Structure 1
Amino acid sequence: MRPDVLRRGVLVGLLALMAVPFVFPTWWMITSSFKPMSEIVGTPPTMWPHTFTVQPYLDAFRTQPLARQYWNSVYIGVVVTAGTIVICSMAGYALARIRFRFANVVFLVLLTGVMVPPEVTIVPLFRMVRAAGLIDTHVPLIVIPMIGAPSVIGTFIMRQFFLSLPVELEEAARLDGLGPWGIFWRIAFPLARPAVGAVAIIVFLRSWNSYLEPLVYLTSKEKFTLPLALTQYRDNYGQLVWNTQLAATTLTVIPVLIVFLFAQKQFVQGLAQTGLKG
């Protein structure tokens, strides 16, 4: 056997072994979603359902409006992601290419937003949302993330990417008669697909997994998002119905996998290029 083939086989084996702790919880979640409750809590635990049933999936939609809650998370995540990409790309381009007084100070102040945990600002934000009459609506779940920590991270990524673009591209476009707005939309933004992919994944995952904000702002089950809805699968004694909850959780993983599979290449390229120049 050739040495390079042997080394590759050993490397693949080690990577497969290291992947077990990460793959096993997902495997257990999916297989347990097809088990009856008695088999989940039984000992010893089983790696494959002895009694295969789809009843947990039916109960997930029967016990509460999961389809409506699913749609709430999808459309909120898409709107927040699209809006954040537009805002962050324009802000990042301005900080990277437009020279104005105190630009570096503005950028440093902007970065401090990442260091402020959401628990610190949730009370004043709740008071503002309540004063505006927007409690139990999706407006704060859409607007606040666009100007919060995810937007700050997105602005940083976009700024670093635009700094890595050759200035000669913009100079050539300027000679062709394009202004700053035209250069941004026709030259800079189309070239920023790797950075846009990275921002899209970060923002969408942040919106999709958000639990604190929906818990604070929403009161109606029909307006719940999925992270909040998953906590509602309980029996008459307040105990979690594990198989139904695992079935609903399995369904929530699907959009995340789709987004990552389509944008993983841009995600890696975007993160790799954010540190090239700064």
Structure 2
Amino acid sequence: MSRRAKTAVYGVLCLLALPFLFPTWWMVTSSLKPVGDIFAFPPTLFPTDVSFDAYAKAFELQPFARQYFNSMYIAALVTVGTLAVSSLAGYAFARIKFKGANLWFVVILVGLLIPSEVTIVPLFKMFDAWGMVDTHWPLILVPILGAPSVLATFIMRQFFLALPGELEEAAKVDGLGRFAIFRLIALPLARPALGAVAIFTFLHSWNLYLEPIVFLSSSEMFTLPQALTQFVDAYGGPMWDIQLSAASLTALPVLVVFVIAQRQFIEGLAHTGLKG
């Protein structure tokens, strides 16, 4: 491709990216504006009077730092737990032959077809009986053992199916057992798929909204999606500058995770056949 053609392609791609980038740009820049300038017409692309007061107020009006930590550690635990469960299950379905393997895998995939709204009431009754309501245990256990883990298992299985069988045969000749083959050979090679699963899982846990509003009632236990709805004035109206500031802080970890793992994410999708 010639230099002129590359420039034209990049120019078109930049134009196509504008509708996706502009909302984020507006959110961040508006969080630095006074309330009266947020919805000014015509809108301004750059704040004329930069102020970080809304960011400070976000931490003053409610325990936002604690809520931020809640989302961070829950997403981290869910990601690690899902990686462990899905990699083991995906490897078992892909590389270990046992009776009814395909049938059991189809049964597990059916879990993706069940909306979370259908199971939320039985789950609430179960966790209430265990004394886990208004704790973070439901937000950790349900994603690890529920539908997000099913999708992760599917991705890992597809990746492990593509691994050459000669690698396992050579490892068996060297005296390695099944778990040693998984830990020393299959898992290191699955880094791209693990990266894709990690991003999917982290995003799902970070943006989880239905389960927190059902299971949590104390503001100190809230996660960020639930906390964002609490920035309202005495009449129940939205405090736009503070909400936009809190939303900007909420989006930051997602961007960091994607930038760090984007190569593994793209490679993982390419190897598992989930091309867009």
Q: What TM-score range do you get, normalising by the shorter chain? A: over 0.9
Indicate which of 17, 20, 23 corresponds to 2:21.
23
User: Is the deviation greater in 93-102 or in 35-44?
Assistant: 35-44
Task: Quote how far apart the aligned CAs of 1:131 are.
Answer: 1.1
Give the counterpart letter for 1:272 in structure 2: A
Structure 2 counterpart SS, 1:141? helix
Letter in structure 1 aligned against 2:20: F
User: 1-side partners of 2:41 and 2:196: how far apart?
Assistant: 43
**SS of residue in 2 equivalent to 1:232:** coil
Residue-by-residue CA offset, 1:24-66 (whole Å, 9 max, x unaligned): 0011000000011111133332222122111000111010111
Whole-angstrom CA distance in 2 between matches of 1:11 and 1:168: 42
Matches within 5 A, 1:87-236: 87-236=85-234
What whole-Å deviation, never above 9, does each CA across 1:92-131 have from its counterpart, x for those lacking one? Answer: 0000011111100001111111111111111111111111
TM value normalised by structure 2: 0.97
Determine the C-alpha separation between the residues in 2 that align with 1:44 and 1:232.
29
CA offset digits 1:5-42 (Å, max 9, x no partner): 22111111111110110010011000000011111133
User: How far apart are the structure 1 equivalents of 2:21 and 2:252?
Assistant: 15
Q: Deviations over 1:75-106 (max 9, x none)?
A: 00000000000000000000001111110000
Distance in structure 1 (CA, Å) of the matches to 2:39 and 2:255: 28
TM-score w.r.t. structure 1 length?
A: 0.96
CA distance in 1, matches of 2:267, 2:39: 44
Q: Could you tell me which residue of structure 2 aligns to residue 41 of structure 1?
A: 39
* Residue of structure 1 aligned with 2:6, choices 8, 19, 23: 8
- Aligned match of 1:83: 81
Match among 47, 50, 54 for residue 48 of structure 2 = 50
Consecutive unaligned residues of structure 1, counting only runs of 5 or more, are none
The number of residue pairs the alignment matches comes to: 274
When structure 1 is superposed on structure 2, of 226-235 and 49-58 the one drifting more is 49-58
Structure 2: distance between partners of 1:34 and 1:99: 58
RMSD value, Cα: 1.1
Distance in 2 between residues matched to 1:164 and 1:118, nearest whole Å: 31
Corresponding residue of 2:272: 274
- Cα distance in structure 2, aligned partners of 1:94 and 1:52: 55
One-letter code of the match for 1:107?
A: F
Q: Structure 2: how far apart are the matches of 1:217 and 1:91?
A: 28
Q: 1:123 corresponds to which letter in structure 2?
A: V
Give the aligned partner of residue 237 of structure 2. Answer: 239
- After TM superposition, which residue ranges in structure 1, 4 or more long, deviate above 6 angstroms? none
